[in-house]
Structure 1
Amino acid sequence: MEKKQGFFSALRGLSPSRSRTRSRSVSPARSSSPMTGGRKNFTGGAAAANYYVTQPELLIERSGSLRPVMEGPDLDEEEEGGGGSVGDSKRLRSGLGNWVKGQLSRAPSVAATAAHRRNDLRLLLGVMGAPLAPIHFSSDPLPHLSIKNTPIETSSAQYILQQYTAASGGQKLQSSIKNAYAMGKLKMITSEIQTATRTVRNRNPSKAETGGFVLWQMNPDMWYVELSVGGNKVRAGCNGKLVWRHTPWLGSHTAKGPVRPLRRGLQGLDPRTTAAMFAEAKCIGEKNVNGEDCFILKLSTDPETLKARSEGPAEIIRHVLSGYFSQKTGLLVHIEDSHLTRIQSNGGDTVFWETTYNSSLDDYRQVEGVMIAHSGHSVVTLFRFGEVAMSHTRTKMEESWTIEEVAFNVPGLSLDCFIPPADLKTGSVADSCEYGQEERGKAAHRAKVAALEN
């Protein structure tokens, strides 16, 4: 990780703009990365960066029209229209329902196996690929610690964050970082699915989907991530004004609500953003996590942001982020992220979707003076419940990752590297959708079943 020379010698262009040419993006990192393949050699360094800056058309990809981003199981419209969730296919024609049904009645044919694997992968990438943090954060420095006229929960949280900032490398060093790059490998698997009548567990690690990711960040509020898993690529980014995502099966989408950072950056890769994210949090107690005593900081999304992120029949009830900071090292060692969405159907029935992320961060090492977590493991639970107990489902997914390379203040990285897809349209989200009224409702319903936003 500390081998910067290897990073710069392998980096072909020092810019994520390379990865978006002709919609066949590849990792800007070394060729041995699982993200790379079929890439022509090109001279790196500033010349490569200037080459793409002077030819901006190479930065633009062509994709489908924008629709609201759904950080969940985004399955095809054909699959969605033809099935539904277990025991309720007419009332809830969700792609996830088809996926659940398929898990419990898998056919032995090769075609069916391929289709199920494709749906499994889409579910994994949809839920765990590029989730967002709960709120927009201020890039201002942390407030000075004060106990006068300050609730003990707030002053305690401020003290814990100052200890975290110091343990991560210090505010002065972190403030000198203008941009950052990280590359890693990961494995994803759907480990369990449970209905009212049956539970299916996947205990075969060979069925895990493997791949990698690259993450670019630039102050303020700009980021771009690309994941390549199982032959599929998911891309997401933010230019400081809007957040978008692109999947091969749905094209490009925008995220409702305020600009928010990528959750993956909070997983031990971006201490400065992490501290800023928890600046408004409260200390709610202590807990032992994996044998380590931790302080718990809890951050709840404000009602205005929840309302801005809701759409149509779906209402986001809550989104809570909890950080567990080691009392011994001061570092962030665990994150719990939970959000609840309520969907009111036309028939009057109410369905709830609760998505819970639990991420453990390990193997902290210094990179240019900044403490970075080089590995971790996430367990995600997607729980559907409502008025009919027999229609309840619970899906458990897992991801393990390792960080291969990290670098700060990368030469050649510019604003052009965070350009959204070319088909970005102005106006409301509804105006950006090339759907009729019925199709809009169907697409919106699928988004809500996927818990809409993370």
Structure 2
Amino acid sequence: MLWWHYLPLLLQETSSAQYILQQYIAASGGLKLQNSINNAYAMGKVRMIASEFETAKKVTRSRNSSKAAESGGFVLWQMNPDMWYVELALGGSKVHAGCNGKLVWRHTPWLGAHAAKGPVRPLRRALQGLDPRTTASMFINARCIGEKKINEEDCFILKLCADPSTLKARSEGPAEIIRHVLFGYFSQKTGLLVHLEDSHLTRIQNNGGDAVYWETTINSFLDDYRPVEGIMIAHSGRSVVTLFRFGETAMSHTKTKMEEAWTIEEVAFNVPGLSIDCFIPPSELRFASVSEASELPQGQRMKSKTAAAAAAAYHAKVAQFQKSHESDTNNINWTVDV
């Protein structure tokens, strides 16, 4: 009967998480206002401010000054239910990605067009203070695991783990996703999301060889919340993405770290004229078997003049930076969302 002693704790973790999410929804503008939004648009700027590459023998660091930092921009469109499209560009590279509510896809200069395996999932950048309703729904089954200070601000921590069936659905071939955890840090003072930590671990089993592990961690810090048509939107922030490879031998690990800072220039809701045609996947994915496609998004389309500022993907820089330091990456198709 000892489980009775732990039941109150489990119930407390769940009920506390629900209370935190209720406060977050209220602080973000309220459920009624959020449910009145059918579509949304956001445009922002991004700067790559630091990079680091580490091996067992040396560490190479680069920190750009405000003038030397590579700059770009991005434009994001969303529409109910579960449709989104984003264009990002930085340092001469451009990434398009989208979801038509059924299929997540992506186009990158180094991989071309690819469709994601597994269930439809939201765009990470939208969770970085741009879409409180989707953020709240993401954490609906989370647990409150404690408190922590983030930038001198007391926060509640919500933890969400992907279930085994989702991990299996997103795995492909020799690449097995064995863990995906999301942590949300919500301010006790304002109720808003101020920090997001997204981590997943992938195991690559080579033919007859040792397994190689890739751990991807993205830490995002959200700032400058201001109301837009009554909805609280984070107008600036920064993200640190870390790619850690290990497994073969004790001295063969590599770690790549990139840091970006972004600002939001423009946000609008219920944009007239936006239709489902704007979220149609590329033809090569529409008419191909999804099961034959590789992992993650591509994009095309969106010819609105407002989208002319297209752009910014630190993932493009991560891939290029990693490639310049390491010739053998086991041909992994990275599944880091834009």
Structure 2 equivalent of residue 324 of structure 1 = 185
Residues 255, 453 of structure 1: 8 Å contact kept:
no
Structure 2 equivalent of residue 13 of structure 1 = none
Q: Could you list the per-position Cα deviations for residues 123-162 of structure 1 after superposition, in whole angstroms to 9, with x for gaps in the alignment?
A: xxxxxxxxxxxxxxxxxxxxxxxx9997111110000000
Q: After TM superposition, which residue ranges in structure 1, 4 or more long, deviate above 6 angstroms?
A: 147-150
Structure 2 equivalent of residue 115 of structure 1 = none
Structure 1 equivalent of residue 235 of structure 2 = 374
Structure 1 position 193, deviation (Å): 0.9
Q: Which amino acid aligns with 2:145?
A: I
Q: Which amino acid aligns with 2:24?
A: Y
Normalising by structure 1, report the TM-score: 0.63
Structure 1 position 251, deviation (Å): 1.8
Q: Which amino acid aligns with 1:320?
A: V
Residues 14, 144 of structure 2: 8 Å contact kept:
yes
Structure 1 equivalent of residue 20 of structure 2 = 160
Q: Which amino acid aligns with 1:376?
A: G
Query: What SS does the aligned partner of 1:390 have?
Result: coil
Structure 1 position 453, deviation (Å): 5.3
**Greater gyration radius:** 1
Structure 1 position 267, deviation (Å): 0.2
Q: Could you list the per-position Cα deviations for residues 302-327 of structure 1 after superposition, in whole angstroms to 9, with x for gaps in the alignment?
A: 00000001111111010000000000
Q: Could you list the per-position Cα deviations for residues 256-294 of structure 1 after superposition, in whole angstroms to 9, with x for gaps in the alignment?
A: 101100000000000000000000100000001100000
Residues 309, 453 of structure 1: 8 Å contact kept:
no
Structure 2 equivalent of residue 421 of structure 1 = 282
Q: Equivalent of 1:246, from 107, 110, 118?
A: 107
Relative to structure 1, the CA distance from residue 337 to residue 432 in structure 2 (aligned partners, 3 Å threshold; closer, same or farther) is closer
Percent identity over the alignment? 75
Structure 1 position 432, deviation (Å): 8.4
| More contact order relative to length (CA 8 Å, sep ≥ 6) | 2
Structure 1 position 190, deviation (Å): 4.8
Q: Which amino acid aligns with 2:56?
A: A
Normalising by structure 2, report the TM-score: 0.84
Q: Equivalent of 1:407, from 268, 277, 284?
A: 268
CA RMSD across the alignment: 2.1
Structure 2 equivalent of residue 191 of structure 1 = 51
Q: State the aligned residue count.
A: 297
Query: What SS does the aligned partner of 1:153 have?
Result: helix
Distance between the aligned counterparts of 1:197 and 1:344, measured in 2?
25
Relative to structure 1, the CA distance from residue 186 to residue 431 in structure 2 (aligned partners, 3 Å threshold; closer, same or farther) is closer
What does residue range 13-412 of structure 1 map to in structure 2 within 5 Å? 151-205=11-65, 206-412=67-273
Relative to structure 1, the CA distance from residue 390 to residue 381 in structure 2 (aligned partners, 3 Å threshold; closer, same or farther) is same
Distance between the aligned counterparts of 2:290 and 2:237, measured in 1?
38
Structure 1 position 204, deviation (Å): 3.1
Q: Which amino acid aligns with 2:331?
A: R
User: Which is helix-richer, 1 or 2?
Assistant: 1
Q: Which amino acid aligns with 1:170?
A: G
Structure 1 position 349, deviation (Å): 0.6
Distance between the aligned counterparts of 1:315 and 1:157, measured in 2?
30
Query: What SS does the aligned partner of 1:411 have?
Result: coil
Relative to structure 1, the CA distance from residue 271 to residue 343 in structure 2 (aligned partners, 3 Å threshold; closer, same or farther) is same
Structure 1 position 232, deviation (Å): 2.1
Q: Could you list the per-position Cα deviations for residues 383-405 of structure 1 after superposition, in whole angstroms to 9, with x for gaps in the alignment?
A: 01114122111111001000000
Q: Could you list the per-position Cα deviations for residues 8-47 of structure 1 after superposition, in whole angstroms to 9, with x for gaps in the alignment?
A: xxxxxxxxxxxxxxxxxxxxxxxxxxxxxxxxxxxxxxxx
Distance between the aligned counterparts of 2:290 and 2:150, measured in 1?
44
Distance between the aligned counterparts of 1:337 and 1:274, measured in 2?
13
Unmatched segments (≥5 aa) in structure 2 = 1-6, 296-328
Distance between the aligned counterparts of 1:431 and 1:226, measured in 2?
21
Distance between the aligned counterparts of 1:265 and 1:170, measured in 2?
18
Distance between the aligned counterparts of 2:46 and 2:292, measured in 1?
35
Unmatched segments (≥5 aa) in structure 1 = 1-146, 434-443
Structure 2 equivalent of residue 75 of structure 1 = none
Distance between the aligned counterparts of 1:409 and 1:230, measured in 2?
32
Query: What SS does the aligned partner of 2:278 have?
Result: helix
Distance between the aligned counterparts of 2:49 and 2:282, measured in 1?
29
Q: Which amino acid aligns with 1:447?
A: I
